[in-house]
Structure 1
Amino acid sequence: MKQVILLHNPNAGDEDHFKSDLIQAIENEGYRCTYFSIKKDEHWKEQLARADLAVVAGGDGTVRKVVKELVQRGPLNKRITLALLPMGTANNLSKALLLDKEANFDSHIRAWKCSKRQRFDVGMLEYDSISNFFIESVGYGLFPTLIQKMDMADIGPLETTEEQLQLAQEELYQIILTAEAHRYTIHADSKSYEENYLLLEVMNIPSIGPNLMLAPASQIDDGYLDVVMITEKERDAFALHIKKIIDQEKTSFDFQTLRAKKINIQSANKNIHIDDRNVSIANDLLTITVQEHILNFLK
């Protein structure tokens, strides 16, 4: 009988009821299950190595907390397979794994026995003598501003994740209209670029933020990262693209994209985001590489 460690990020008021439902559904499929509320209890880190499967019930931020622990342990430790029960707002990582976020958790759990393991690359960062990682994206410009705006937004009156995503899209549209473009020098493998960009994103998965598809050709296990660039000259066209998404109209945008294994970025703009968190760096140099097949997910 396989041992499952269930790592749950509960919303206010739902923990006890949802905890018992999740455990029951997992045990009904023949697994042993140990539960941890990832908000309240750090002891899950000590139990990871004993599990055959780590189940993350939450959003992209919750997944990052678990991945951080696995990345810090290094490649010589036991490689634990992750399974996701998508319960966040955007769930971009689940989308990259082609998981149906509309399916109930019982359906996801029943599918584990016939699911395949999907290898997953992780992006690595060096800045200010600090090493860090990302599983979704790292970037400059529009999205650090959007994250800051959404952190301050009152989402209490919003009843659904769709309403929250639309609010983020509307905020992004307003940011695009007035955002300052910055100068960047980019060295991506053997190629170099220098331009004023509104948006500069290094993507490990296809979508970002409010389910915005920036790098549709991005592969999660190919050993490459996708660098997406939007110039100041493309401001109006990109704003129109986002407006059509908000209005649910058919639209497309020809993103300038390059693929690379190692990227160096220099800029006077020192505000970046790493996945869903903003970071201010002291130096003007960011070095980004990719480590192949660090993680295994059930898909």
Structure 2
Amino acid sequence: MEQAILLHNPGAGDEDHLKSDLIALIEQEGYACVYFSVKNGDQWIHQIDQADFAVVAGGDGTVRGVAKELVKRNSLEKKIPITILPMGTANNLSIALGIDSTKKNLDHIKNWKNTKRQRFDVGVIKNADSTDFFLEGAGYGVFPHLIQKMESVDKSKVENAKDELKLALEVLHEIIKTAKAEKYWIKADDKIYEGKCLLLEVMNIQSVGPNLILSPEAVTDDGLFNVVYVDETQRSDFAAFIKKRLNGEEVTFDYKTFEAKQLTIDCESTYMHIDDELVLPLKNVAILEVRENVLEFLVPQS
């Protein structure tokens, strides 16, 4: 009998997903299951080696919290694959891995016997003072402003994840109209890029934020970043694109983009973000590099 370790964020998403319900669903499909709430410390770290796979029940932030501990592991230690029961607002990581967040938990669990292991590279970002990592993306410009604004915006009329995603797009649209274009300089492998941008994102997967697909060609295991930027000349077009998204139109935007394995970035932006966390910009230039095949996810065969 395979042993699952269930790492649950009880506050994620639209509902309070009960511990007993999740355990029962997993056990009735023939798995042994041990449960930990990620809200109650990190005791799970000492038990994970006993498991055959980890189940993360939560949103993108919960997955990142678990991955943060697994990334620290020595390369000779047992590699624990992760599967996701998506319960967050955006679920960008689930989307990137082909895990349908609209399905019921039981449907996901029944499908675990028909999964494959998907390798997942992580982005490492460092300077002289610190080192961090990201799963989704890191960047400057309008997305850090969006994260900051969403912390204080009125959410009294938000009833579910769909409402919150729509609200985020509305706030983003307003930010784009007035945001300052930030000066940037990038060394990407052996090429130099510089200018002023409204958005500058180093993407590890296809989408960030409110399910905004910036790099549809991104894959999780190619050893490359997809760098995406919107310059000042595209402001009105970018705002119009977001407005059409708000209106439910299926539209795309012509982002400026290139691929690179290693980056050196100097940007004058007041803030930056690493995944969904708002951070102060690094004091010195940021060095970003791909660390290959660090994590493995269990994903649907199809």
User: Residues 96, 33 of structure 1: CA spacing in aligned structure 2 closer, same or farther, 3 A cutoff?
Assistant: same
Q: Choose 177-186 or 127-136, whichever is displaced more.
A: 127-136
Q: Structure 2: which amino acid aligns with 1:145?
A: H
Q: TM-score, normalised by structure 2?
A: 0.95
Distance 2:204 2:250 in 1: 25
Find the counterpart in structure 2 of residue 56 from structure 1. Answer: 56
User: Residues 56, 156 of structure 1: CA spacing in aligned structure 2 closer, same or farther, 3 A cutoff?
Assistant: farther
Find the counterpart in structure 1 of residue 73 from structure 2. Answer: 73
SS in 1 for 2:107: helix
Find the counterpart in structure 2 of residue 89 from structure 1. Answer: 89
Can you list the C-alpha shifts for 1:69-111, whole angstroms capped at 9, x where unaligned?
A: 0011232221000000000000000000011110000000010
Can you list the C-alpha shifts for 1:9-68, whole angstroms capped at 9, x where unaligned?
A: 0029976x7111100010011111000111013211111111111000000000000000
Q: TM-score, normalised by structure 1?
A: 0.96
Find the counterpart in structure 1 of residue 226 from structure 2. Answer: 226
Q: Structure 2: which amino acid aligns with 1:121?
A: D
Find the counterpart in structure 2 of residue 217 from structure 1. Answer: 217
SS in 2 for 1:106: helix
Distance 2:102 2:64 in 1: 21
SS in 2 for 1:294: strand
Kindly state the Cα deviation for residue 288 of structure 1 after the two structures are TM-superposed: 0.3
Q: Structure 1 residue 107 and structure 2 residue 107: aligned?
A: yes
Distance 2:18 2:156 in 1: 21
Equivalent positions of 1:30-45 (< 5 A) are 30-45=30-45
The share of aligned pairs that are identical, in percent, is 50
Confirm or deny: 8 A CA contact 1:186 1:194 kept in the other structure: yes
Kindly state the Cα deviation for residue 281 of structure 1 after the two structures are TM-superposed: 3.0
Confirm or deny: 8 A CA contact 1:269 1:284 kept in the other structure: no
SS in 2 for 1:152: coil
User: Residues 142, 192 of structure 1: CA spacing in aligned structure 2 closer, same or farther, 3 A cutoff?
Assistant: same
Q: Structure 2: which amino acid aligns with 1:178?
A: T
Confirm or deny: 8 A CA contact 1:268 1:284 kept in the other structure: no
Find the counterpart in structure 2 of residue 258 from structure 1. Answer: 258
SS in 2 for 1:26: helix
Q: Structure 1 residue 126 and structure 2 residue 123: aligned?
A: no
Equivalent positions of 1:151-230 (< 5 A) are 151-230=151-230
Confirm or deny: 8 A CA contact 1:184 1:267 kept in the other structure: yes
Distance 1:166 1:86 in 2: 19
Distance 2:130 2:41 in 1: 27
RMSD: 1.5
Find the counterpart in structure 2 of residue 292 from structure 1. Answer: 292
Distance 1:145 1:10 in 2: 28
SS in 2 for 1:116: strand
SS in 1 for 2:125: strand
Distance 2:34 2:125 in 1: 33
Can you list the C-alpha shifts for 1:192-226, whole angstroms capped at 9, x where unaligned?
A: 11110110000000001000000011111111010
Confirm or deny: 8 A CA contact 1:127 1:281 kept in the other structure: no
In structure 2, the gaps of 5 or more residues are: none
SS in 2 for 1:24: helix
Find the counterpart in structure 2 of residue 268 from structure 1. Answer: 268
Q: Structure 2: which amino acid aligns with 1:126?
A: K
Q: Structure 2: which amino acid aligns with 1:140?
A: Y
In structure 1, the gaps of 5 or more residues are: none
Confirm or deny: 8 A CA contact 1:267 1:284 kept in the other structure: no
Q: Choose 55-64 or 70-79, whichever is displaced more.
A: 70-79
Q: How many residue pairs were aligned?
A: 298
Can you list the C-alpha shifts for 1:158-207, whole angstroms capped at 9, x where unaligned?
A: 11111000000000000000000111001111111111011000000000
